Amino acid sequence: MSNASASIINQPLSKQPLSEQQKSILLAATQKIAPSWPLDQMIAVNPFWQMREQRIEQVAANLGVLGSVHLQMPKQYYLNLYQSGAISQAALQQASVELASDLSAQQLTAFLTQQDESVHWHNIADLLDSQRDPHKMAWRDEIIHQISQFCAAHYQELEPLLRRGDTSKQLDLYRHWLDVTRCNKGLSIVMDEPGLHQFFAQLPDTHEALLAEAIEAFSLDNDTLAAYSHALLLDVNGWASWVAYLRWQGDLNQQPNDEMHQLLAIRMAWDLVIWRYLKAQLPIHFAQLNVSWQREKAQLSSMVQAYQQMQRPIWVWVKAAELSYQHQLNQQLQNAIPQPVVAPELQAVFCIDVRSEVMRRALESQHENIQTFGFAGFFGLPLEYQPSPSELTRPQLPGLLKPVIRVTERSDNKGEKAKLNLRARWQSWSQGAPSAFSMVESTGWLYSLKMLKQSFFAKGEANPVNRLSHQGDWEMSAQGEALSIADKTSLAKGVLHGIGLTSFAPKVLLVGHGSHSANNLHAAGLDCGACGGQTGEVNVRVLAQLLNDQEVRQNLVSQGVVIPEGTRFVAALHNTTTDHIDCFTPSLSDAVSNWLKEATTAAQRERAPLLDTSLENATDEQLDKALIKRSQDWSQVRPEWGLANNAAFIVAPRSWTRQVNLHGRAFLHDYQYQQDPGFAVLELILTAPMVVTNWINTQYNASVTDNSKYGSGNKVLHNAVGGHIGVFEGNGGDLRIGLSMQSVHNGEKWMHQPQRLAVYVAAPREPIEQISAKHDNVRHLINNEWLYLLRWDESGVIERFYQGQWLPQ
């Protein structure tokens, strides 16, 4: 080590602590990252949720500058839509007016053919990479790789990698990283920078001290500190999203767990090490770096303003594409003739998931007296499921909520339950990062036999908990105490009121849903998001038992709810990959069984061209076999399209939309405001299902507009991290979040058109205004244009609610 470097390392370090204002700024920066749920509980998340209090254009500008993130499609995409007529002239004109654009249609079209300027912020590592010897490892690449590999090891608790025998004494995130990194002399070799590893020795032992030292060394004022901190977290956005998930769960369970400051300190420590290394070893290069850094900080504010100004015309095109869809949908809705079912012979309650829209139409087309309903997929049951006597539990409700009821079974599933731990251990090894390849190599010919078996005798894989027979009676408890009949009655009444069930057919199907695929790390993402990334089987079985309980029914009578003695609730599951509906009871009439079978065929026929054009001319039997085979094929990267191309959320009586083909693009939630005198149900819909549909819609949008940051890339290259934490694309880089390319693109075109959700609500103006004023989340989503909220009334009038005003459409 040179004398210069030794003097830098040994010089007294500043002990100036973080000021209260700096702490506040850092806290705000660390709260800008949205959580990402683990693979076995995968649900869709709006990756911009933590910034919903800002306008979408401002968020796009900030992220565009700080992380080169894209919230819109490339210009050519909108030009193609316009030239094909998918963006109408009327929609373009309306978008121009709403966004106060002074550009003509010709100027807007010319804008789409112009080259974009490069306007984005550079962290210290980026500034060095722009002039770095191309034969050397890029600073950014090594930093992300090193932090990511460490986080994978830390959160997997792989003792050989952690160098610790007693994980109960494991250090906190920053301290553990520092301990491991200080021992890694290979960093100097990898980066071809002699003595680099020695500069990690002088980093402070606490993350607070590190942040304080870096702020002083980089001369960060408050504005720059906020932006710089956010930019650093965007460098490791995948792991930041995992840490945000741990924070979310900690807050949900009143057990604070926020390591985001420590992750930020780890990323900032790398910049500080580089800074000090260059200052000691390469003073000429350091002088150049310092000049570039000072210029970068000085230009930050103007960068964001320039980016936002540059993006103004593209937002006109974004809105024009969205309005073009809305104009067509408005016409369909206004021209529809309500078709109520007066004497239902069969009722079926489905999840609001867009895939059920196709199945509901198919089922309703079998008979005029078949009535379907749309309701949140967890059926209003705030459950967690525990296979007794196992200690394993899993949530069966949206990630926004905390379970308050635990359900177990009285039946004997000991044989299956005994296998859960063994299977879990096998999966932990076979899916650990980066063990997907190493496991095959280690098991050798044994694993090759398994692969051959999967090829010729395909069999879908699912969460091992789903393999339990679920044949027994369900026990429901809260805080260790069994629910009383009064509790069950109250729960049942709330569910029926929320669904809108006031009259009852002889058979009422409660239809949960789940997917079926093989060799799919993101399989849970195709199951029910409302059920915490699980199938809805447990929820519908529990609810069917609850509503069939004679004692509960007797108590409901005294509360004004009369369920006829002949009515039977039947639990069922919709397999969204094959469109089969399996009922968990044999007591169905031939008519009902035939209706379900024919509905399956109709739904399969509608979806077939989107999955495989060769299936269009197949017979019904051939099509059914092909879809079943597809669901069991371990090499199939597109078992189904999930919720791709979702675009609308309609909160209205089903009779209003029964004759409308919504092409599997709309979430449908039944609602009749006349049955909701206090508008409590409407308030629940706008604060929960509307938020969930926004999360789904925005995840799909972001996975298309910027798959490199908010999508997970090529699923063929995926390796699981920690069995369930997430995936790497290959064996390194940042943790990947969001959807794979194969989930949104068929190899030739996008299967999801990114556009903000259009929410249609059939309710009076006043309650909508009051609910928006009462709830910040609702108001932010509407006023900051994260979605469109439209009101649709009986006369066919559709108007938009925005900034407290009602705008004609």
Annotated binding site for Zn(2+): 351, 353, 513, 528
Closest CA to 180 of 199, 206, 161, 207: 161
Chain mean position to CA 644: 13
Q: Where are the beta strands (DSSP E) in 380-479?
A: 383-385, 394-396, 405-409, 474-478
Q: Any idea what DSSP says for residue 86?
A: S
193: its two tokens: 């920078």
Residue 219 CB: number of other CB atoms within 10 A?
11
Unique residue bearing structure tokens 């094929």: 633
Half-sphere exposure of 192 (CA within 13 A, CB side): 7
Half-sphere exposure of 11 (CA within 13 A, CB side): 10
Dihedral of CA atoms 202, 205, 206, 212 in degrees, nearest 10, equals -20
Chain mean position to CA 778: 19
- Neighbour-count burial for 469-481, b at 16+ CB within 10 Å, e otherwise: ebebebebeeeee
Q: What strands lie across the sheet with 718-721, from one edge to the other?
A: 718-721, 726-729, 732-736
258: its two tokens: 């926020």
Q: List CB contacts of 6: < 8 A, sequence separation 6 or more.
A: none
Residue 659 CB: number of other CB atoms within 10 A?
14
CA distance 76 to 96: 19
Kindly calculate the radius of gyration of the chain based on its CA atoms and give it in whole angstroms.
28
Q: Where are the beta strands (DSSP E) in 323-404?
A: 346-351, 370-375, 383-385, 394-396
271: its two tokens: 């910049």
DSSP H helical ranges for 336-413: 355-364
CA distance 8 to 276: 7
CA distance 493 to 371: 20
Q: Are 571 and 544 in contact (CB under 8 A)?
A: yes
End-to-end CA distance of the chain: 71
Q: List CB contacts of 714: < 8 A, sequence separation 6 or more.
A: 729, 740, 741, 742
Q: List CB contacts of 657: < 8 A, sequence separation 6 or more.
A: 333, 336, 650, 666, 668
Half-sphere exposure of 194 (CA within 13 A, CB side): 5
Q: Any idea what DSSP says for residue 713?
A: B
Distances (CA, A) of 74 to 67, 111, 113, 115, 704: 17, 12, 11, 11, 11
CA distance 785 to 95: 13
Distances (CA, A) of 178 to 125, 170, 171: 19, 13, 10
CA distance 574 to 460: 16
Closest CA to 777 of 648, 681, 687: 687
CA distance 344 to 363: 13
Q: Are 377 and 352 in contact (CB under 8 A)?
A: yes
Amino acid present at 25: I
Q: Is 372 helix (H, G, I), strand (E, B) or coil?
A: strand
β-partners of residue 572 are 511, 583
